[in-house]
Structure 1
Amino acid sequence: MSSSVVLITGALTGIGRAAAVAFAKAGHRVVVSGRKPDAGEALVRELRASGAEAEFVQADVRKEDDVRRLVDRTVERFGRLDVAVNNAGTEGKPGPITDQTAESYAATFDTNVLGVLLSMKHEARVMKGQGSGNIINISSTYGHEGAAGASIYVGSKHAVEGITKSVALELAKSGVRVNAVAPGPTDTGMLTRFTGTPENKAALVTTVPMARLGLSEELANTIVFIASEGASFITGHVLHVDGGKSH
């Protein structure tokens, strides 16, 4: 994976940002994407200051034209696409099923599911032509477990894991690997919003056998590994990085 070209969606905060830093530190060329140009350009300056080649492309993964342009711009800039980390996601609107609406469903599924689907469509288009590549989707412990008060988010992450396994089978003979990384409770802004209060966050920690939150950097290291030659015979897998929560 020497000097691979890495594309990361949802790269401006949390796990996506940590992954961008980790890939850059390992010597790879990085394209970061998100919806906020100021934050994107600031991240690129930071990555370049560390000696990495980096570009920002503004994109909204819910819009196919944006996703197509993002992938095409990556290839125009660096000539290929080796690794794609589909990290863009939203916690949506937590709450009981009786409070959910078609709008709250769409707000979550359009980013978490449609965004992954569109990203994979265009990433696979390029990678199949190359005969090589790695796609890593970011799921969650809630991609294979239930959670009261989070039915829409949980459903969206179950969908991500199902799509990951299916596309891995589609692409298995093409030289393209497709996997998911499923974080447990990780100390990010999204988790703070999702839990709502310090008490709720502390209660969530008690469900983790290792008795702490994960760090974005720990997830980033796992993402770099699953994209590497060290994981060359792994595809269609969901890697749980959750302190023992999925047991």
Structure 2
Amino acid sequence: MSDLLGYKNKRVIVSGCFSGMGEATARLLLDQGAEVHGLDFKDCALDLASFHNVDLRDPASIEAGVAAIGGKVDALFNCAGLPQTCPPMDVMKVNFIGTRHLTEQVLPLMGPGSAVASISSTGGMGWSRRVPVIMGILQTRGYQQALDWCEANKDTVAEGYSFSKEAVNVWTMLSGAHLIKKGIRINCTMPSPTQTPMMSAFEAATPAEVLQAATQPIGRRSTPEEQASALVVLNSAAAGFINGVVLPVDGGFMGGVATGQVDLSAIMRRAAG
């Protein structure tokens, strides 16, 4: 039972490893004995097996980064992301379009028993009400088609953040059904507010009442390490029968909303007023 998670000597890729949840994920994987390869727009200070500067806003950069790693890949952790204070199309490129493209480049390097885990957000909790719309972007093929769809549907994209996370959620569930035929699992997490360097951007763009509501019922923000643990478990041997799951990692927030103990709609109305 000493290697329950099964990462010793496994080759893994972590995008967004410079800071926050991605950096915490890479550190935890190193502690578990994995061979960690990092991708990020900014340089990473961790002692990784390799690191490559990759811009998820540029498909050629993504392709070059994956090609530089090469070889067999046992797990991919999609941790890179942008907040809603960035230009909407950049948010869509990084949070969904580039993340999907990166995954599609890595999948040919994966075999049975491998897994993908992505970071979504409780900001994408409204996915179930918009599945027909979200399927529009999911039915695109390739980076440019997805970007063209966004340009043609700017009202739907809006600020980019919520829609990008909704897209990650539905893409995960959709992909799980066919990737498992190849023995590859894919899941994602929906973190509640987490104390990372990106949090200052969320504080600037989101009413304090809304952020506070999203920390209920536990009453605090999560740490990057708490979010990293969930991702690492999802991609581990211990989670070998978990597939196509959108996992809230939120201290009970989604459960509170579903049972009426957290009335987010009332909070939103007060924030707007």
TM (normalized to structure 1)? 0.82
> Residue 139 of structure 2 corresponds to which residue in structure 1?
none
> Residue 216 of structure 1 corresponds to which residue in structure 2?
224
SS in 2 for 1:8: strand
The runs of 4+ residues in structure 1 deviating greater than 4 Å are 199-203
Query: For the residues of structure 1 that align with 2:24 and 2:208, how far apart are their CA atoms?
Result: 21
Alignment map for 1:149-168 (pairs within 5 Å): 152-168=160-176
Match of 2:211 among 197, 204, 210: 204
> Residue 84 of structure 1 corresponds to which residue in structure 2?
76
1:144 matched to 2:125? The reply is: yes
Gaps of 5+ in 1: 45-52, 95-103
What per-residue deviation string (whole Å, max 9, x for no partner) do you get for residues 175-214 of structure 1?
10000011111011112211129x9557623442100000
Query: For the residues of structure 2 that align with 1:110 and 1:175, how far apart are their CA atoms?
Result: 28
> Residue 55 of structure 1 corresponds to which residue in structure 2?
50
Distance apart, 1:111 and its partner CA:
1.0
Query: For the residues of structure 1 that align with 2:50 and 2:39, how far apart are their CA atoms?
Result: 9
What per-residue deviation string (whole Å, max 9, x for no partner) do you get for residues 110-147 of structure 1?
111111110111111221xx33411111100112148x
> Residue 200 of structure 2 corresponds to which residue in structure 1?
192
> Residue 20 of structure 2 corresponds to which residue in structure 1?
14
> Residue 73 of structure 1 corresponds to which residue in structure 2?
68
> Residue 133 of structure 1 corresponds to which residue in structure 2?
114
- Alpha-carbon contact 1:92-1:153 (below 8 Å) kept: yes
SS in 2 for 1:43: coil
Distance apart, 1:69 and its partner CA:
2.0
1:233 matched to 2:241? The reply is: yes
> Residue 152 of structure 2 corresponds to which residue in structure 1?
none
Match of 1:23 among 16, 25, 29: 29
**Count of equivalent residues:** 218
- Alpha-carbon contact 1:88-1:115 (below 8 Å) kept: no
Q: Which moved more, 1:7-16 or 1:185-194?
A: 185-194
What per-residue deviation string (whole Å, max 9, x for no partner) do you get for residues 39-92 of structure 1?
32x223xxxxxxxx52111111222222222222222xxx31011011111013
Tell me how large the CA RMSD over aligned residues is. 2.0
- Alpha-carbon contact 1:35-1:59 (below 8 Å) kept: yes
Distance apart, 1:28 and its partner CA:
0.5
1:43 matched to 2:46? The reply is: yes
- Alpha-carbon contact 1:192-1:201 (below 8 Å) kept: no
- Alpha-carbon contact 2:88-2:159 (below 8 Å) kept: no
Cα distance change, pair 4–201 in 1 and its aligned pair in 2 (3 A): farther
> Residue 153 of structure 2 corresponds to which residue in structure 1?
none
> Residue 136 of structure 2 corresponds to which residue in structure 1?
none
- Alpha-carbon contact 1:14-1:189 (below 8 Å) kept: yes
Query: For the residues of structure 2 that align with 1:85 and 1:58, how far apart are their CA atoms?
Result: 16
SS in 2 for 1:144: helix
> Residue 98 of structure 1 corresponds to which residue in structure 2?
none
Cα distance change, pair 201–55 in 1 and its aligned pair in 2 (3 A): farther
> Residue 108 of structure 1 corresponds to which residue in structure 2?
91
SS in 2 for 1:81: coil
> Residue 121 of structure 1 corresponds to which residue in structure 2?
104
Distance apart, 1:8 and its partner CA:
0.7
What per-residue deviation string (whole Å, max 9, x for no partner) do you get for residues 3-46 of structure 1?
2111011110100000000000011010111112xx32x223xx
